[in-house]
Structures are given as structure tokens and as C-alpha cells.
Amino acid sequence: MDFWLVVLVIGLCLVFTFTNGLQDGSSVTAGIIASRALSPARTVLMVAAAEFLGAMFGGSAVANTIGSITSWPKDKTILPVLAAGILAAILWNFLTKVLRFPSSSTHALVGGILGALFAAGGTKYIVWGHFAFEDSSGIAKVILSLFASPLLGFVFGYLLLHLATFLLLRATQKINVWLKWGQCLSVSLLAFGHGANDPQKTMGIILLALNASGFYQGQEIPFWVRLACGMSIVLGVFSLAPGIVKRVGTGIYRIRTLHGFILEAASGLIVLFSSVTGCPVATSQVVASTVIGVGSGERFKDVRWLVAKDILISWLLTIPCSAIFAYCLYICVFRWLG
């Protein structure tokens, strides 16, 4: 039974990573596709390659953060808890895909794990941690990362748009050719950062499951785990969700070449920095908030605030809804497996 529970957790982690690539990968590609700097097919190939490289060479800081949110003893009893939490996150990701909301896969995962932990042991095994500018920990670090990163995206998008407008005041239309090449670099940076951040969350859970079951006792992420998660997120990117691409690329604000370059560069720097410092961020949140910042910087009234409101609502609902899903799944199904 222990072996099959570990297989179940790993399988669910890979499915979740696939849905993450589907959700967030669609947001990553939205800017360059909307600005028509590159065709959708070439964009997907470029983004998928950068995502895979990020997963393979992006370090382990985020995985360590995810592993630190629970103090559950390292034994097999945690396996049904992890399974319930991940399955809840998967269900929420597919639901929001149907509704065409660029919701946060990271929010869904955090909410799912918290809901399952609460169902299994109350708050006893949840590491709340503490807020500190230089040394946050536990759930506090995760929550701080999730809510601070979209604000940074908005501010960076707004300020960089004004800076670029000033610097390019006398530029001719020929500058668009260079900006399109710049977008190839900026979207690759964003995709690498996303690949370095999001697959690590499931890598951390797989490592937790392997340690708890006794099948692996090391603290380094095994190569096969990195490879499997990297391939899963690539498959998710290849299964692009056109509804999310359209909603982020044109639904919030009409993205043109300059906007695309700015939003990808700003989002990429935020996500990459977060990966290095071990902060699990929601890439789709960062991208969408940067689009809002760029649009506000150019023409505030042209931002489709009703669409932005719908996205905000989906973000606010994700953690509690996925937590409720996980709670019900554990109570009704997975607790009997434990």
C-alpha cells in the first residue's frame, strides 16, 4: 500500500505540473502572441525549451520552502494528506481553465495542502512561520510572496512603460523590429523563471513523499524527479489554453510590441528573483498585474477593469476553494487510505 500511495502522489504531482504549464504557460505566452512578434507555434517551442531549462537548472530554493510549510512527522501517514491536497489543486485548475480565468496554480496548491493538513490534524502540523523582510518562513513566506509579487508587477509595469516612452520619444517605427527581437529574449527570461519556480513546488512535495515513505532519504532533488517535472510542464505549455491567452493578451489591455517587451521583462525579473530567493510566486498573477500596470501607465481608461475584477475575484477565491476541496476529499476518500 505504501508503494502505491507514493506512486499516486508522484502521479498527481506530475498531472498538477501539467495543469500548471497549461495555466501559467498560457499567461507567459500571451504578450508575445498578442503583439504578433512571433507566431504561436514558434512561441510555444521557445517557451517550452526555456521552461524545461528552468526546471532542470533552476536550483532547489522554492522546493525547500514548500517542504517547510508542514511539521508533519516524516512517515507514511502524510501520503494521503499530500494526495488530497494535490488532487484538489488539479480540480481547481481544470475548473478555472473551463471558466477561462488565469487563476494561480500556486494558490491552488497552497490552498489544497492547507485544507488537507487541517482536515487531517487541525492546525497542529501547519508551520505558520513569521513575516520578516529578510527572513520570512513557513506559510508566512508563501503568503508574502504570493501577494507582494503582483503589486511589484503592477508598479514595475507602470514605471517601465513611462521610462520606455521617454527614452523612445524620438524613435521611428523601425524600433519595433528591435523590440520584437527583444521580446524573444524577454519571453525566454520569463519562461525560464517560471520553469525555475513552479515545477519546484511539486518537486518539493515529491521529495517529501519519498522521504516519508523511506524510499529516498536525501535532501537533494533526484535527477529523475527534475526530468519528470520538466517534461510535465513542457507538455502543459504545448497544450496551450487559447481562452487564457486571449484574456491576458487582449482582454485586459491591447498588448502591442512595446507593451509585450516591458511586461515580459518586468515579470521575468520578478519571477527569476523569486526563484533564486525561494519565494513561490504565481506567474499568472505577476503577468496579469504587469499588464494592468502597463495599460494604466499608457491610458488608464482603456484598461478593461471588469475583466481585471473577474481575475482578482478568481485569485481571492482560489486558496479557500481549493482548501475546501482538499478538506472534503481527505474526509470522504483519502483518510481511509491512511
Placement of cell 504545448 in the chain: 238
Task: Answer for the pair 139, 69: CB distance below 8 angstroms, yes or no.
Answer: yes
pLDDT, tens digit, 9 for 90 and up, residues 188-201: 999 999 999 999 99
pLDDT, tens digit, 9 for 90 and up, residues 265-320: 999 999 999 999 888 888 888 998 999 999 998 888 888 887 777 777 877 888 89
pLDDT tens string for the chain (338 positions)?
678 889 999 999 999 999 888 888 888 998 899 888 888 889 999 999 999 999 999 888 888 888 888 888 878 889 999 999 999 999 988 887 777 665 778 888 989 999 999 999 888 888 887 666 556 567 888 888 888 888 899 999 999 999 988 888 877 777 888 888 989 999 999 999 999 999 999 999 999 999 988 888 888 899 999 999 999 999 999 987 777 787 777 788 888 888 889 999 999 999 999 999 888 888 888 998 999 999 998 888 888 887 777 777 877 888 899 999 999 999 998 888 76
For residue 195, what are the contacts with CB-CB under 8 A and spacing of at least 6? Answer: 50, 51, 52, 53, 54, 55, 58, 230, 233
What cell numbers appear for 262 in the block?
Answer: 516591458
Nearest to 117 by CA among 323, 279, 319: 323
d(CA 41, CA 19): 19
The per-residue DSSP string of 226-272 comes to: HHHHHHHHHHHHHT--HHHHHIIIIISS---HHHHHHHHHHHHHHHH
What cell numbers appear for 243 in the block?
Answer: 481562452
Task: Answer for the pair 249, 243: CB distance below 8 angstroms, yes or no.
Answer: no
